[in-house]
Amino acid sequence: EANNNDYFESSAIFGAVHQSVFSKNFKGGRIAAVFGGADINFTQADFTGSVVLDINAAFGGIKLIIPPNWAVKTNISPMFGNVEDKRMALAETGEEQKMLILEGSVTFGGVEIRSF
């Protein structure tokens, strides 16, 4: 499912969602996965400076696919869960650094960060 909104919200409760964000003026958002999974693709999204993504995974998982030049700061509190950045390395582009700040909680679940 495509999403062009500047502020993104998605919930997967006892199910799964697969969404792509296309906003070129992305302002952040909220993702919840409770006994479910959410795969969110941000590779076509863009923003300036930094944005906050509020994450809540309880007995579920969230996979974020982001551009390789985005830096990620994790302020998530995992309890019996984990947050894994599985990207190889931050790609240097010579452009202003973009910072995705992850906040929220992970309980008996996981958050995975990937790039193509």
Hey, where are the domains in the chain? 2-114
Kindly give the confidence (pLDDT) of every residue in the chain, 116 residues in length, as a single tens digit, with 9 standing for 90 and above: 667 789 999 999 999 999 999 999 999 999 999 999 999 999 999 999 999 999 999 999 999 999 988 999 999 989 999 999 998 776 666 666 899 999 999 999 999 999 97
Sign of CA dihedral 36, 39, 45, 48: positive
**pTM attached to this predicted model:** 0.90
DSSP letter string, 61-97: EEEEE--TTEEEEEEEEEES-EEEE--S-PPP-SSPP
Strand partners, 85: 113
